[in-house]
Structures are given as structure tokens and as C-alpha cells.
Amino acid sequence: MALWSGRFSGGQKNELIEFTESVSFDKRLYSHDIDGSKAHVDMLASCRIIPAKTAKSIKRELEKIRKRIDEGRFKFTSRLEDIHMHIESEIIKALGDEGARLHTARSRNDQVNLDTRLYLRDESVKIVLGIRNLQRALVSQAENNSNAIMPGYTHLQHAQPVLFAHHMLAYVEMFSRDSSRLLDCLGRLNILTLGSGAIAGTTLPINRKKVAKDLSFPEISANSMDAVADRDFECEFLACLAIFAMHVSRLSEDIVLWSSREFSFVELADEFCTGSSLMPQKKNPDVAELARGKTGRIYGNLVALLTICKGLPMSYNRDLQEDKEPLFDSIDTVIKILSVLPPMLATMHVRKEKMLAAANNPELMATDLAEELVKLGVPFRKAHERTGALVKWCSSNKVPLNKVSFNEMKKHIPEANKALLKIFDPARSVSKREVDGGTGPCEVRSRIDYWRKKLQK
């Protein structure tokens, strides 16, 4: 029988039980639920709301339950709705009236909120550590291929030569913002909401600050209605994961492109590819494709939760039970991505010669030419126009920019000198870009060193 069955006559239909249960997915909160209950009974005893002896017995039974669930020896049933009911009824079964004191001055509304916050606190640490691992894989690729030059793209068109390491480090920067966003979010969710009761607090003389201290919450919530009603901390968490997934998806897309025959910039290790059941020659970058594809559900989960919360009247509504599956799914998906992406990147073979060959297109150095003219005193707009005219002549006469005669160059660029004929070298181009944040080798080297040190800790 359900623990709330007092005001009801008659049992529930199976369909209703199956429709309303959440234990099938919220059982993963058991350990956090037990931690919360232990701190709660300690506080109840210290405030003389329940006897100290009762608190002790409850805590002992809670640990037994934790062990049974850990070891897979605990039986779950949809009849008991959720994980909170399971643990409480087990305590009552073991301790009778003593156990019936556990739920004093507490509602499942503030309890579930506490559990989710405790859970997210742990998961965010796992994810941030996973992101560091991912960053390490990118930094070691940058380091091991620190002199590799590749074409940089804008609009997926050849733009300017860049160091491959610079490209890798661009993602390291993005992922570092993803981590710091999660840590910001953690700061906002690290608040004790227990003690809010169902909506209005309690008439019993509880001490919320003690519970906060025992569970390492630096703050307690200031409004009991806000505490049980809102899931903004979960929305924020999912938004952080969605932005992270967007970055993962872009990185994956680069890897997919680069491993195509047309680019051939990288080769993935066999263990991170799969074959085709039909075409014997195929070696597909499925891990990268799936990482890109899984971004869809991670975005979807954010939209699902925002939609669940939208338009709810104050304060707690059962709709809020629907928060967990999207939340858990995004976390599980991100953790899976973080388990495969770092080793896939770490074992990726970089084909420097292919990258350099692609970067050896003199048109990539057209900006360098225009900037040389600026150094000779030509206003940039004019320099751009003259260089553009030379590029146009070259392309209509099928002469590569680096093969143009000095006389021809002079026709389009009266300020030209012979040294300008020698600038069509990708290595020269990157080496000239030692500006803060640029792709110059020293600049990139120092950023590699920065990240290596930072990620060591």
C-alpha cells in the first residue's frame, strides 16, 4: 500500500501505477537520497524533534539499504512510485514506528530537489574531469604535430594557412569555456533546498543551516516556494551540456571531413572505425558521426525540460517528475561521448604532408601580399584592390600567383618589389603571424605550454 494511502479508499489500477511511477528511472538517486536522509535525521535529533536513538537506528538501516541496492539485492516495484517511497517504506518495515519518524518536517517535494542537486554536484565533477581529458588529447595532438601547416577555412573555402596545432587549440579554448560554464552552474545549484517542506516550510523547529553544513552546501534557499517549484538549475545544466555538445559536434564534423578521401588530413585508428556490411572497402568514422548525431538528443532534452516547466502554476506540480529522464539522458550521453572521443583523438594519425600540400596554394597567401603592400605604405583598401586585380588576372590566365612574372605583378601593383615574389610560402605565412592569439609558431607553442601545465593539475 502506498505511504500516502490514508485519505484514499480502494486500490489503484495498474495502468495508473505504471503511468505515475518514476522509480524505474529515479532509482539512480538512491545514494544521494540516503545521504540526504542521514543528514536530515541527524538534524531532527539535534533539534529534539526525534529521539537520538531513533536517528541512530534509521541511519543504520539506511546504510543497510544502500548496501543492498549497491549489490543489486533490493527489490523495486512500481507500486511504491519513486525511490523516496522505496527507501522510506523499507525503513518503516525494519523499524516500525521509529522508522515512521524519518519523513518528519520533510516532503518529497523538497527531498527530490535536494537529491537532484546532490546528484548534479557529483555528475558535474565527472563531466568537468572528462572534458579535461578531452582537452588533453587535443593538446597532445597539437604538441606532437606542432609544425604541421594546414589550410585554414572560412565558408569551407581556403582562407589562410594555419598551424594544425592552432586549430586543435581552438577546441581546447571552447571546451575550457564549457567547463567553466558548468562550474558556474554548479555554484548556483549548490544550495540546500531541504527544509522547504511541500511548499511553505514547517511548523517544527528545524535547523536548515546544520543540514547545509553536513551536506557541504554553502547556502540555503531563501524561499520555500521557489525551492520546490523551480528547475532552472536543471535547465541551466542541460543548456551547458547542449553548448558542449555543439562544440563536440563541430569537432566531430572536422574529423569526418578530414578523414574523407578528398581531404585525407587524418586517419583514424581502426579500432575507432567500423566497416560497411555491403561495401568491403569502407572504413567509416562512426564514432565522430555518432558524437555529432547525439547532439540532437542533447538539444532535445533541453527543449523538453524548458517545455515541461513553462506555464506551470506555482509551485510544485507532478509535471516536474518529467525532468529526470531528459536530465539523465543528457548526462549519460555526454559521459559516453567523453569516454570515446579522447582515445579516438589521441590515436588519430595526422598526415602532415597532405595538409601542407593543400596549404601550398598560393592564393592562401593573397592577404600576406596585401599586408606587405601596407608595410610599403599602401592604404589597405588599395592594397586589397590591387592584390585582387592580380589574383583575377592570374586566374583568367591560368597562372598560379607564385609563378607570375615581376613585370606582370608591376602592372597590377606599381609599388611591388622583387621580394614580394617570395611570400607565397605557407611556412613563411604562419611564421609572420606572431600576434597575440595568432597562428605564429611561438605564439602557438606558448599556448600549448600553457594548456599542458594547466591540464596537468
Q: Cβ 60 to ligand ARG, closest distance in Å?
A: 25
* Listed residue (206, 200, 191, 207) closest to 225, CA to CA: 200
In sequence order, what DSSP letters do the residues of 333-396 get, joined into one string? HHHHHHHHHHHHHHTPEE-HHHHHHHH--GGGGHHHHHHHHHHTT--HHHHHHHHHHHHHHHHH
The only residue of 134, 320, 348, 420 in contact with ligand ARG, by rule CB under 6 A: 320
Which of 105-113, 134-142, 199-207, 335-343 is the region at the interface with ligand ARG (rule: CB under 6 A)? 105-113
Told to check if 115 binds ligand ARG by CB under 6 A, we report: no
- Of 118 and 341, the one with the shorter C-beta distance to ligand ARG is 118
221 binds ligand ARG (CB under 6 A): no
249 sits near ligand ARG (criterion: CB under 6 A) = no
Instruction: Give the three cell numbers for residue 357.
Output: 600540400
What residues does 154 pair with on adjacent strands?
157
Q: Which of 37, 145, 221, 321 binds ligand ARG (CB under 6 A)?
A: 321
Identify the bridge partners of residue 220 per DSSP, sorted by sequence position.
Answer: 192
- Please identify, using beta-carbon distances, which residue of 174 and 320 lies nearer to ligand ARG: 320
Work out whether 22 is an interface residue with ligand ARG (CB under 6 A): yes
Q: How far is the CB of 13 from ligand ARG (least distance, A)?
A: 18
Task: List residues bridging with 267 in a β-sheet.
Answer: 349
One-letter amino acid at 217 equals F
Sign of the alpha-carbon dihedral angle for 37, 41, 44, 50: positive
Residue 231 interacts with ligand ARG (CB under 6 A)?
no
Pairing outcome for strands 219-220 and 191-192: parallel
Q: Which of 5, 180, 276, 446 is catalytic?
A: 276
180 in catalytic set: no
* Annotated active-site residue in 9, 155, 277, 396: 155
Question: Does position 109 bind ligand ARG by CB under 6 A?
Answer: yes
Query: In the window 69-88, what residues touch ligand ARG (CB under 6 A)?
Result: 82
Q: How far is the CB of 322 from ligand ARG (least distance, A)?
A: 8
By CB under 6 A, residue 318 contacts ligand ARG: yes
CA atoms of 355 and 410, how far apart (whole Å)? 32
Is residue 113 near ligand ARG by the rule CB under 6 A? no
Region binding ligand ARG by CB under 6 A among candidate stretches 210-218, 307-315, 318-326, 364-372: 318-326
How big is the chain, counted in residues?
457
Q: How far is the CB of 32 from ligand ARG (least distance, A)?
A: 13
Among the listed residues 108, 166, 247, 447, the single contact to ligand ARG using CB under 6 A: 108
Residue ranges of alpha helices (H) inside 190-323 are 208-214, 224-229, 232-258, 286-293, 295-309
**Applying CB under 6 A, does 330 fall inside the site for ligand ARG?**
no
Largest CA distance in the chain: 101
First to last CA, the chain: 52
Provide the strand spans (E) within 44-196. Answer: 149-154, 157-163, 191-192
Those residues with Cβ within 8 angstroms of residue 247's Cβ, 6 or more apart along the chain or in another chain: 171, 174, 175, 178
Q: State the Cα angle at 297 between 112 and 308, rounded to 5°.
A: 45
Q: Which stretch binds ligand ARG (CB under 6 A): 297-305, 315-323, 332-340, 388-396?
A: 315-323
| Beta-carbon count within 10 A of 445 CB | 16
* C-beta closer to ligand ARG: residue 65 or 359: 65
Identify whether 384 is a catalytic site residue: no
- Pick the closer one to ligand ARG by CB: 261 or 318: 318
Q: Verify binding: residue 193, ligand ARG, rule CB under 6 A.
A: no
Q: Is 112 in the site for ligand ARG (CB under 6 A)?
A: yes
- 358 makes contact with ligand ARG (CB under 6 A): no
Query: How far is residue 386's CA from residue 440's CA, in Å, rounded to a whole number?
Result: 26
Active centre residues (catalytic): 155, 276
For ligand ARG, the binding residues (CB under 6 A) are 22, 26, 82, 108-109, 112, 318, 320-321
